[in-house]
Amino acid sequence: MNLLRWKKYKIGLFVIFLSTFSMAQTNSVPNISWREAGLLPVTTQEQPHLGLSGLISGFIGDKCILAGGNNFPMGLPWEGGSKKYYKDVFIYDIKKDTLVVNPIFKFSLPSKVAYAAVAQLKDAIFYAGGENETGPVNHVYCIKKSANANRFEIIKWPNLPEAVTNAVAMATNNAVYVFGGAYKEGVSDKVWALYFDKIKAGWKFVSTMPQPTAFAASALLRNQIYVIGGRCKGKDGISKMYKQVYAWNIASNTWFEKAELPETLSATTALCIGDAEFLLIGGDNMSIFHEVELLTAKISSSTDTAVIKELTTQKNNLQKNHLGFSRDVLRYQAIPNRWELTSHMKFLVPVTTHAIKWNNRLFLPTGEIKPGIRTHKIWVGLVNK
């Protein structure tokens, strides 16, 4: 083999090596092993907690914070029960892969709330909006550690311009943004920003979303905020379900449509696992939810007592016999802009919760596992990539 051929041969081998290495890097699927990490504390009656949905959750220092939420203590919806909202705060210490309630710190939220837009800040937790027994609220707070080592404090920030529930929030180094959410008259398509160097100036309208959205998930990749799935309830009471994914470029204030989800998904949760990919955990594909909405609309429009009774039975049975929500973990890669199924979890996966990351551990606290039914379990996933 002459010198020129040898050089071409070596270059060819090098190109093949780089291509193989690149493909291996792109296709390496994170292996996540899940186990029970902890429970919500027992009640004052020494009974297991019913569980909570729509919690505020995050980390402050080495403490895991779970707060607020709601459940149905006096019967499920089809039994005539109504939601009860809470302002309790639970603080956990992390002991390897286990969360243990810390008995030293005791405080409550300023008011009852569930389904707030939540964002993890540096050593603080932001939450905005949400709802209580009266409907959507516009309150905004920041939970942080006090100068006193044995205390936390909750700082009041400027109210949102509109009261919304089930919006999503995302924080950058410069600001925190709130996207969409449901209000009494419909669903919002607005993006609001609160800049950390001008907090007292209040919220600024910065963009219009491609579609009004509530119950979405969000993720931050390379200065773009992704808004994933969700739904929009129409004036007729029927929701439009989304599998669209949009990325908002903060600097240019432009929106880009990304690869669609494999199916419509709402009330799911996203977690970044690198600067160019994130995981989507669980969610509701809305098939049964859609049937329930259609039956509800028929019940509202009927005056025949027998028909109303039959339709109500059908609706209640759909919810009673619900098998649970999606157990899939999906991975999105910004390059090459694609989704893939990475695993299928073996437990009832909660929706309307926030997955939170601590080192290489993913915590999935409580949430709704079937219509009206909450779980008191906190799960941890150990990522082995």
pLDDT at 29: 64
- H-only helix segments in 272-350: 287-301, 305-320
Rounded to 5 degrees, what angle do the CA atoms 382, 349, 189 make?
105
Whether the CB-CB separation of 34 and 345 falls below 8 Å is answered with yes
Average confidence score pLDDT of the chain: 91
pLDDT at 19: 39
pLDDT at 9 over 50: no
**Per-residue pLDDT tens for 221-266?**
999 999 999 999 999 999 999 999 999 999 999 999 999 999 999 9
pLDDT at 21: 37
Residue-range domain boundaries for the chain:
30-285+325-384
**Per-residue pLDDT tens for 168-182?**
999 999 999 999 999
What residue has token string 């959410």? 181
CATH class of the domain defined by 30-285+325-384: mainly beta
Long-range pairs of 100-105 with CB within 8 A, sequence gap ≥ 24: 100/38, 101/38, 101/41, 102/63, 104/150, 105/63, 105/150, 105/151, 105/152
Percent of the chain surpassing pLDDT 90: 82
Cα 21 off chain centre by? 34
pLDDT at 2: 52
pLDDT at 306: 96
Whether the CB-CB separation of 168 and 227 falls below 8 Å is answered with yes
Whether the CB-CB separation of 102 and 114 falls below 8 Å is answered with no
